Amino acid sequence: MPLLEIRGLSITIPTPKGDVRAVRAVDLSVERGEIHGVIGESGSGKTITGTAMLGLLPQGTKVEAERFHFDGEDLRQSADRLRGNRIGLISQDPAAALNPVLRIWRQMDDVLRLHRKAPRAERWAEAVALLASIGLNDPEKVLRSYPHELSGGMLQRVVIAQALATGADFLIADEPTTALDVAVAMQVLELLRQLVATRGLTVLLITHDMDVIAEVCDRVTVLYHGRSLENGPAEQVLQRPEHPYTRALLAALPDAAPRGERLATVEGLFIDPETGALLQGDQP
């Protein structure tokens, strides 16, 4: 059984201007111990799908699905309990995920106290070991620092350590390297890969960057306008895409989008909202 199993997901968000159908028909199946990429251009529904798994959608949002399960539990009922216990979030901006006026230790300890009933000295030792294990030099100094004293790459590692401290075994990483420069981004991706190998972690990696998919993902699901179009081993989808949209996306890449840049919108193709068919021409 896959760890995450989503079939026929549809998400409708109420807004003052009426309902927005943010996700129409997403299938997503993530096996234990894999890094599963979710790729698609801006507005394709990547973040909303992740937010739904965390149970953090705006009030009144309608989440419908044939199946929306994490480890056999329906996320529509269990998301609040699983978030921060089994499911962790790594977002694009680590500085925003941390409190600027508290030292890293206080923020790590808030998590450790909640999850372990150990004395302070043991929690400190655990925080030191955790930070060291994710490649931070001088972890004691890091723990005594405020967020602004650390670089973006270090902060992203702290956020990952915090998620691990909760005991999470599934990380939703939403554009985790977008705000980092290329060399640091590669190190963070390498760290995720190591954690999958050493801790049996499973990662859902949301990105608009084909290079990120090629670099670390085992499998990938392609989203477009709130629909999943295809999925498969990353190498296969990148080298032999089946869906015309994915082919168009990849064909448009070398000239239109240099390394690391946002996916271009593929012109001249659209999906019929009624039938789901991919059609040529301009969107009506």
Binding footprint of ligand ATP on the chain (CB under 6 A): 13, 15, 20, 22, 40, 42-48, 58, 208
Nearer to ligand ATP, 11 or 160 (CB): 11
Diameter of the chain measured on Cα atoms: 65
Q: How far is the CB of 40 from ligand ATP (least distance, A)?
A: 5
Q: How far is the CB of 101 from ligand ATP (least distance, A)?
A: 28
Nearer to ligand ATP, 134 or 206 (CB): 206
Q: How many CB atoms lie under 10 A from the CB of residue 181?
A: 12
Nearer to ligand ATP, 89 or 127 (CB): 89
Alpha-carbon gap, residue 133 to 98, rounded angstroms: 20
Helix (H) or strand (E) run with residue 70 in it: strand 67-70
Nearer to ligand ATP, 21 or 32 (CB): 21
3-state percent helix, strand, coil for the chain, nearest multiple of 5 = 40, 25, 35
Alpha-carbon gap, residue 119 to 163, rounded angstroms: 20
Alpha-carbon gap, residue 44 to 55, rounded angstroms: 19
Q: In sequence order, which residues have a C-beta less than 8 Å from that of residue 53 and are 6 or more positions away? A: 4, 70, 75, 79, 87, 172, 204
Nearer to ligand ATP, 12 or 133 (CB): 12
Radius of gyration of the chain (CA): 20
Q: How far is the CB of 58 from ligand ATP (least distance, A)?
A: 5
Q: How far is the CB of 140 from ligand ATP (least distance, A)?
A: 36
Q: How far is the CB of 282 from ligand ATP (least distance, A)?
A: 18
